[in-house]
Amino acid sequence: MSDLHPHGTDAGHPHPSSVHDAHDAHDAPHLHVSLRGYATGFLLSVLLTAIPFWLVMAKVLPNSNTTALVVLGFAVVQIVVHMVYFLHLDAKSEGGWNMLALIFTVILVVIMLAGSLWVMHHLNSNMMPMSPHEIRNLP
């Protein structure tokens, strides 16, 4: 019979759960998840939603193009806030792969926003205007 540890493992080998716990503690020093971090992210998200809403509803800026650009800027900042506070992406974690994911996300967002604005602009400029007479005869 072998020399057994009180937890049922060999005396020369540590308990399996302690090995797992030590491994987790070694791999995750960068993960500092706290209620304060989530609360900060939540408050920033609410603020970054309320300000553009107020800008649009109160018509604070005289030009609608300026308002649209400001709202898009707030949207980009909110995406970064979500990535940092809720997804915990930074340059140090996962050996830099998270930074690569952040760069990829930024590129996709820029392409999506620029493409959407381009399509909406061209749809608006290429629509055929209708005369009042044609509008009255619509079914």
Listed by start position, the domains of the chain span: 30-126
pLDDT digits (tens, 9 = 90+) for 61-93: 999 999 999 999 999 899 889 988 888 877 777
Vertex 65 angle, CA 128 and 132, to 5°: 30
pLDDT 10s digit of each residue in the chain, 139 long? Answer: 555 555 555 555 555 554 444 444 445 455 567 899 899 999 999 999 999 999 999 999 999 999 999 999 999 899 889 988 888 877 777 777 877 877 888 899 899 999 999 999 888 888 877 777 777 777 7
pTM of the prediction? 0.53
Q: Which residues pair with 10 in a beta bridge?
A: 4
Query: What is the DSSP code string of 7-62?
Result: TSSBTTS--HHHHHHHHHHHH-SS----HHHHHHHHHHHHHHHHHHHHHHHTT-SS
Give the Cα separation of 64 and 137 in Å (integer).
31
